[in-house]
Amino acid sequence: MKTTFYRINAACMTVWLVILMVIMSGILSCKPKPLQTEDKVNNLVQVKHPAWSKNLCIYEVNLRQYSKTGSISEFEKQLPRLKEMGTDILWFMPIHPIGSLKRKGSLGSYYSVKDYKAIDPSYGTLADFKAMVKKCHEMGMYVIIDWVANHTSWDNQLIDDHPDWYSKDSLGNLISPFDWADVADLNYNNKDLRSYMTNAMKYWLKETDIDGFRCDVAGMVPLDFWIDTRNQLDQIKLVFMLAEAEEARMHQAFDMTYGWELYHLMNQIAKGKKNANDLLPYFAKNDSTYPSDAYRMYFTSNHDENSWNDTEYERLGDGVKTFAVLSATVPGMLLVYTGQEASLKKKLQFFEKDPVDWSDLSMIDFYKPLLALKKNNAALWNGVAGGSFNRIETNADNSIFAYLRIKDNAKIFVILNLSKTQQSITLKGDAYTGKYRNIYTNEQVNYSKDMQLSLKPWEYIVLEK
């Protein structure tokens, strides 16, 4: 969806042209080196996505909290359930051994890596992991692992063997990034560190046949490292790369970036601080800022938000399902976090054992039709493989966000009441008219011009043609 407005007064244009000519004459005389800005990002070289990623969603696996044992073998038993639900890309939070020195809590942070080429014994063995990856591939699923390139634990052997690979203060002491006292910061000015890190990532591709990486705090590691590493990884197999970053420039090395801005906007709408009309400028900005084939990851929860902020039920209230529908049907890829299909209503402890309660799996009935629609209807596919995105106006646009996704003969119509009050609405125009199937009721419905509807608070309607 491209939305651009030009309102230029002719007289003002003349004045500005004169000013511009004067400025340009000074600039040209200095012959500065051209600068590349965010506005020029669509001219940048984009990565080539693996073909299999065009219509899939992603599921974040928190192994520690997935079961009482937290083992790979126990998780493997859940693969049929996850496959049936429709989450085909599995992102595993860090599976590496965790440092003991300066550890936080009794178990430490997943992101305090002690050994980049090993499996944490609490999860199992390398053989266990390889067997699980093989099983995933046999089931048509894909595996990416969390990669922590920015820092290591304080007892990682690299500190003893290569202290010059680490950032230091003015006194020559190793330092932590921010207030992350349990980890030591790596210095990517060192070429040997770069080679080591790239080769360690290659190891996992060759040894375990994983399909890519989710890269922790990717924006804190130099982009040229990621670009070079991505090129080398793709020589082994075409990988899928997710950056924990939001900057458009990251798409020179990564397939997908985080949609934090939309996440925060949804939280504000749920609290009544923003409304449905605030969504359109976001998508217009996204469309003009990011490369046309960039994948954006949208979510209502993840490991950071759940543990450090609030659960989706605390933030979104009765709008939990409504905002999940939004996240799954706008241009982008939906993330489902461990336990969301089990109505996870607690903040999982980050440094301790705190297993998910799997007794209530009723949310699977909500996610399954939504994820099936994503996979099977080209209008919802990722990047340029997906369809157009256009809002349908109503007489209550402050509360109602209605939109069409169209790709060739595929058509999806979504109507969301993003408010806590019932809305009686009239859909304007006729772009949406036709017969549809409601994906949750399987009812066949006919939508005519200037259709009138009544929507309950936070009601969502997802229609497929």
Close Cβ partners of 445 (under 8 Å, ≥ 6 residues apart): 435, 436, 437, 438, 463
Segment-wise mean pLDDT, segments of 10 residues, the chain, 465 residues: 32 35 34 30 76 98 97 98 97 98 97 98 98 98 98 98 97 96 98 98 98 98 98 97 97 97 98 98 95 96 91 96 98 97 95 96 97 98 97 97 97 98 96 97 96 97 97
In a domain, 10, yes or no: no
Residue 43's pLDDT is 62
Same domain, 326 and 457: no
Going by C-beta distance under 8 Å and a sequence separation of 6 or more, which residues neighbour residue 124? 71, 72, 73
Q: Domain range holding 432?
A: 390-464
What is the C-alpha to C-alpha distance for residues 147 and 201, in angstroms, rounded to an integer?
A: 8
Q: Are residues 95 and 191 in the same domain?
A: yes
Question: Do 225 and 83 fall within a single domain?
Answer: yes
Asked if 161 and 270 sit in the same domain, the reply is yes
Task: Give the residue from 312, 339, 304, 305 showing the smallest Cα distance to 65.
Answer: 339
* CATH number of the structural domain spanning residue 451: 2.60.40.1180
Q: Angle 327-330-332 (CA atoms, 0-180°, nearest 5)? A: 80
Kind plus residue range of the DSSP H or E element containing 436: strand 434-438
Instruction: Looking at the structure, tell me whether residues 368 and 459 fall in a common domain.
Output: no
C-alpha gyration radius of the chain: 24
Residue 401's DSSP bridge partners are 416
Q: Is residue 255 part of a domain?
A: yes
> What pLDDT sits at residue 45?
74
Q: Structure tokens of 445?
A: 């419905």
Looking up residue 220, the CATH number of its domain turns out to be: 3.20.20.80
The backbone torsions φ and ψ at residue 444, rounded to the nearest 5 degrees and listed phi first, read: -90, 125
Indicate whether 396 and 443 sit together in one domain.
yes
Whether 7 maps to a domain, the answer reads: no
Name the phi and psi angles at 438, rounded to 5: -75, 120
The H-or-E segment that residue 41 falls in is none
> How many structural domains are present in the chain?
2
Cα 100 to Cα 444: distance, rounded to the nearest angstrom: 59
Rounded CA-CA distance 202/198 in Å is 6
Q: Which residues of 258-296 are buried (b: 16+ CB within 10 A; e: fewer)?
A: bbbebbebbbebbeeebbbeebeeebeebebebbebbbb
> Tokens 């230091």 sit at which residue?
168
Closest CA to 401 of 448, 445, 458: 458
**Domain identity same for 352 and 446:** no
Kindly state the DSSP code that residue 138 receives in the 8-state scheme. H
**Could you say which of 369, 384, 399 is where a domain stops?**
384
Q: Nearest 5°: phi and psi at 258?
A: -75, 140
Burial of 121 (0-12, 13-18, 19+ CB in 10 A): exposed
**Long-range contact set of residues 37-41: C-beta below 8 Å, sequence gap at least 24:** 38/247, 38/248, 38/249, 38/289, 39/289, 41/248, 41/249, 41/251, 41/289, 41/290, 41/291
Which 3-state string (H, E, C) describes 147-168?
ECCCEEECCCHHHHHCHHHECE
CA distances from 22 to 9, 12, 27 (A): 20, 16, 9
pTM, two decimals, is: 0.90
Q: 13 exposed, middle or buried (CB, 10 Å; 0-12, 13-18, 19+)?
A: exposed
243 with 167, same domain: the answer is yes
